[in-house]
A and B are shown apart, each in its own frame.
Chain A
Amino acid sequence: MAELPVSYMKATREVTGFWGAYPLGQELSPGAYGRRVKGQFVADGRLSDFPGYDGTAFGLTEAAARSPAETWLSEGTRVEDVGVSAGGPALPVSGKLRVQFSHAEQMLFGCRNGRVWSFQNLRKVKDHLLSLYKQGQWDRRDILVTHVMKVDAAWVFYSTRGGQWVEVSVSVTPGPAVAADLLKAAIGSGKLEIGYGGLAASGYASQLPGPGTPLFQAIKISRWPRPHPGIVLRGPGDFDEATFGDPDEPDEPDEGQR
């Protein structure tokens, strides 16, 4: 199966609020820092490598999973039944589903036991970054990972053209009647396979079969930090969200080049 295009990271941000890790199996954690290279996040080290790191103040926390399985779909993405056996109450259901996309850059993201892993106090971390920046130890192009979604397994289905689709085989006991619910149930507790036994796809699919960190959020110091530190805004402050997924977007120039 073809490799996911980097642009999937953006589509993931649209539907989940998090950027998709690239590759899906990339190991990430809050506190990792790095740069954007060809639209991807490339880690260089950890915040703890810098002086003044306070392990207590910058501690991490892991929220409980909101549900055993979560799925996010772009508008215009449908899950269709293309050959599911008729089950019944308490009976297993298995068969084939099709994820159908109406337009390019649509996606379905599903994960098992998604838990948000983040700093306990992001404000303190931001203050530390600003202080490192003022001391000349932090480069404005550096990106800090702030939130990560830890999962037990994850699946991504993605389109680069309208009309693309991906077939998956599912097996769930007992099985819900609606195709989208069936897919979610398979993600949560059942069996879900892509790319085997007569399955076909014109779109992209990728899976993380075991525990991993397929989603993340990251920040960087804004190009023009506010010159009045006493002001606390009800809007964007000294940081911007780091953006990914566009390999052609030029990486920011060095400070001296501006």
Chain B
Amino acid sequence: MTEETPDPDKEIRRLLEVMHDPERAPLRPPAMLGRLAELYLQRPGDERAAQARKLAEGGLAMVTRDDPLYPKLLHAIASALRAMSAPPPGSLGHNGRAARLDRDAWLLSVDPNPADALNFARRWGDWAWSREVWDEAAEAYEGATIAGHRIVLRSPPGILNRLELLSGQAPLSLRSAFAYAQQQRLREAVTVLERAGDLLSGVDSQLEDLGRLAAMGQTGLRDRLMAAYGQAAEHAADPPDAYGRLPASRQQAQARVDAVVWEIRAVPGMARFATPAGWADVSEAAQHQPVAYLAATNKGTVVLTVMPGARTIRRAIVSLTMEQIWDGEVRAFFGSEYERSQADPLATILAALQRIGLVTATVRESVGDDRPVLLVPLGMLAQLPVHAGYAAFPADGTRPARTHFWFHPSHVSYASSARRWLASQDRAGLQRGDSALVVSNPVPLPPAFDELELADFERDAVARHFPVTALPGRDATVDAILAALPGAAIAHLTCHGVIDRRERYTGVLIVADQRLLTVQHLEHLSLSARLVFLAACTSGMSALGVAQLASVPSSLIAAGAAAVIATFWHTDEMATLLVVSRFYDLWQDGSGRTVADALGQAQAWLASSPAAVLRAAVPPAALQTTAGRLLADCPDQEVPFGHPWFWTPFFVLGA
């Protein structure tokens, strides 16, 4: 059954009748005037817009600034001004005035009613964005992000909750940053991206912070906050009253959450609890290495690199738009790897990495040379292996055709925000990986999947360096893994991975009894792992749609892991065994290497080593398996895993 769209003219006539019959009036006169204005605006035309403006101004004259109707009427006037014939591009005119009114409406709403504020700011920003009035767009979209943050902070922690709340809002902060960057207001641009990156993953760290709070003996505060969140959630759907005011139940619930949050912030060491990330976090992270923020919008991609010391921010704007990235890189990825197109995945990946190289080259140029850099990609770029972008140079008279990767694999690591990376680094300093949990070849599997033949060799590679507690085969159930993870210093998972369309295309892991281990399973865990290695296909793939930040690795970081190694696409069994084996050897060689350095060196070794060298690095029995055949049959001096498909999918999130 299709729902009939109400006829605005019919409702206008009804409201005008009601207005002249005070006995029947369901709304206060200013509310009715505002509603009439909205209805007039639903049909085009200067005359209707002028009528709407007159009605809304009439309503505005009847209310004071502290009335909840005030911002709504301001917004109605702004909408009416915009609906009038457009002034020449660049001129503020009606639209400039409308922007001012919407900004006032946003300011008046952001605290009592952030959902309204978000809507006002978005409308204000959309107008400025379309006309490329960058100062207005930057401010408006940042305002929308702030309102979104308020909404998120007042709701119970949890990834799924965040996904729902932030749905559709993801591009706003990216646009704000792009607009700030256009004006050379680079610190503001970086701060907006930092806040956006922290919004999903960082807010979920509230759970971890609450765990810390309990460990300090403040269980009462934790319980009170969770109770306040629960009450707020219960009342979240209570409708506003006829005057547009939030119901008392919602106001009280919000106030209770705010009050407990303030109490928690007063506890020593908890000052940042439920606060948005900001420049201080960026500045601190950039003391260690350059931090590059990447954001794609429908007007282009901005790369902002905060150089060490945080005194310089380098800006680059690439003409690659979000749509081009979707049509080119992302679709190619999904086409060959996840949806299974006819295209050869090896060729497709190669083409995609070359296109991604446009962005990678920009980062490299900003950084100045090939040295360690922390990437904070947002939006669609978070789904792409930016670390592996390359350029292909054709043969010229003197040199043969060659491929140039913009970064050595050991020089790139990822974070969802500077604040999350700092938290990872703190944990890395505190946690000593002195034993390992190995989840190995879970069975039974769905019939299309085969048991992993090299899982035992991989477990042995880990066991060369750590005492191992194994969860093999049938023991590797969802429940057993979730029970063991919190106590693990190192967790290594050797299993199958797939993209799950029901989980917004996040990567998920297949564990025993054909069950899936997903983002949702991880959101209430509290971990203390130095490293979680997800040695499975597509284990690092993030959700489509909402800032692309929800993924199994980011959930593990939010739960308390210091670093996670995961994969962007499919992995070959033998190539994975070799990377894993080499990685642990290098990481534990006593030289104090970082996780990123050890992984990158292992990848470089795999990419460049001839078959004879690689064969010597694995037990002979591994070469007798189906998965070992490619390496076993390769001539001694050939490089069997030199194609980027084999060695570039691995990446590090965290420190």
- Of the listed stretches A101-109, A163-171, A191-199, A218-226, name the one at the interface; the rest are far from the partner chain: A218-226
* Total of A-B residue pairs, C-beta within 8 Å: 83
Shortest Cβ distance from residue A237 to the other chain B in the assembled complex, whole angstroms: 7
Question: Nearest B residue to A241 by beta-carbon distance?
Answer: B448
B448 near A237 with CB under 8 A, answer yes
A232 near B340 with CB under 8 A, answer no
Question: Nearest A residue to B452 by beta-carbon distance?
Answer: A234
Within 8 A of B (CB), among A38-80: none
Within 8 A of A (CB), among B337-376: 340-342, 344-346
Question: Nearest B residue to A218 by beta-carbon distance?
Answer: B447
Of the candidates B346, B449, B535, the one whose C-beta lies within 8 Å of that of A236 is B449
Of the candidates A224, A232, A236, A239, the one whose C-beta lies within 8 Å of that of B572 is A232
Cα–Cα distance between A217 and B630 once the two chains are bound (Å): 30
Tell whether B574 is near chain A: CB-to-CB under 8 Å: yes
Q: Known: A224-B342, A230-B629, A232-B574. Contact between A239 and B497, CB under 8 A?
A: no
Of the candidates B340, B450, B537, the one whose C-beta lies within 8 Å of that of A222 is B340
Question: Nearest A residue to B494 by beta-carbon distance?
Answer: A234
Tell whether B275 is near chain A: CB-to-CB under 8 Å: no
Q: Known: A224-B340, A224-B342. Contact between A234 and B448, CB under 8 A?
A: no
B576 near A219 with CB under 8 A, answer no
A234 near B573 with CB under 8 A, answer yes
Question: Nearest A residue to B627 by beta-carbon distance?
Answer: A232
Cα–Cα distance between A122 and B446 once the two chains are bound (Å): 12
Of the candidates A116, A232, A236, the one whose C-beta lies within 8 Å of that of B448 is A236
Tell whether A146 is near chain B: CB-to-CB under 8 Å: yes
Of the candidates A17, A219, A232, the one whose C-beta lies within 8 Å of that of B573 is A232
Q: Known: A17-B513, A232-B627. Contact between A122 and B498, CB under 8 A?
A: no
Shortest Cβ distance from residue A29 to the other chain B in the assembled complex, whole angstroms: 14
Cα–Cα distance between A227 and B570 once the two chains are bound (Å): 14
A235 near B498 with CB under 8 A, answer yes
Within 8 A of B (CB), among A208-258: 217-219, 222-224, 226-228, 230-237, 239-241
B341 near A240 with CB under 8 A, answer no
Tell whether B113 is near chain A: CB-to-CB under 8 Å: no
Tell whether A96 is near chain B: CB-to-CB under 8 Å: no
List, in ascending order, chain B residues with CB within 8 A of A226's CB.
Answer: 345
List, in ascending order, chain A residues with CB within 8 A of B498's CB.
Answer: 235-236
Cα–Cα distance between A123 and B452 once the two chains are bound (Å): 11
Question: Nearest B residue to A116 by beta-carbon distance?
Answer: B444
Tell whether B459 is near chain A: CB-to-CB under 8 Å: no
List, in ascending order, chain B residues with CB within 8 A of A123's CB.
Answer: 450-451, 626
Within 8 A of A (CB), among B465-501: 494-498
Cα–Cα distance between A147 and B444 once the two chains are bound (Å): 11
Cα–Cα distance between A227 and B573 once the two chains are bound (Å): 16
Within 8 A of A (CB), among B574-600: 574, 576
A227 near B452 with CB under 8 A, answer no
Q: Known: A224-B340, A224-B342. Contact between A235 and B497, CB under 8 A?
A: yes
Cα–Cα distance between A222 and B626 once the two chains are bound (Å): 19
Tell whether B536 is near chain A: CB-to-CB under 8 Å: yes
B627 near A235 with CB under 8 A, answer no
Shortest Cβ distance from residue B269 to the other chain A in the assembled complex, whole angstroms: 40
**Most B Cβ at <10 Å: residue of A122, A224, A234, A235:** A234
Shortest Cβ distance from residue A62 to the other chain B in the assembled complex, whole angstroms: 14
List, in ascending order, chain A residues with CB within 8 A of B573's CB.
Answer: 232-234
Tell whether B538 is near chain A: CB-to-CB under 8 Å: yes
Cα–Cα distance between A131 and B397 once the two chains are bound (Å): 47
Of the candidates A217, A230, A234, the one whose C-beta lies within 8 Å of that of B446 is A217
Q: Known: A147-B447, A228-B346. Contact between A234 and B626, CB under 8 A?
A: no
Shortest Cβ distance from residue B507 to the other chain A in the assembled complex, whole angstroms: 9
A234 near B535 with CB under 8 A, answer yes
Within 8 A of B (CB), among A1-51: 17
Task: Kindly list 20 other residue pairs between chains A and B, CB separation below 8 angstroms, not including A122-B450, A237-B449.
Answer: A123-B450, A219-B447, A219-B448, A222-B340, A222-B448, A223-B340, A231-B572, A232-B450, A234-B452, A234-B494, A234-B495, A234-B537, A235-B496, A235-B536, A235-B571, A236-B496, A236-B498, A237-B448, A237-B450, A239-B448
Interface residues in chain A, defined as those with a beta carbon under 8 Å from any beta carbon in chain B? 17, 116, 122-123, 126, 146-147, 217-219, 222-224, 226-228, 230-237, 239-241
9 A-B residue pairs with Cβ-Cβ distance under 8 Å, sorted by A, are A222-B448, A231-B630, A232-B453, A232-B573, A233-B572, A234-B536, A234-B572, A235-B570, A236-B449
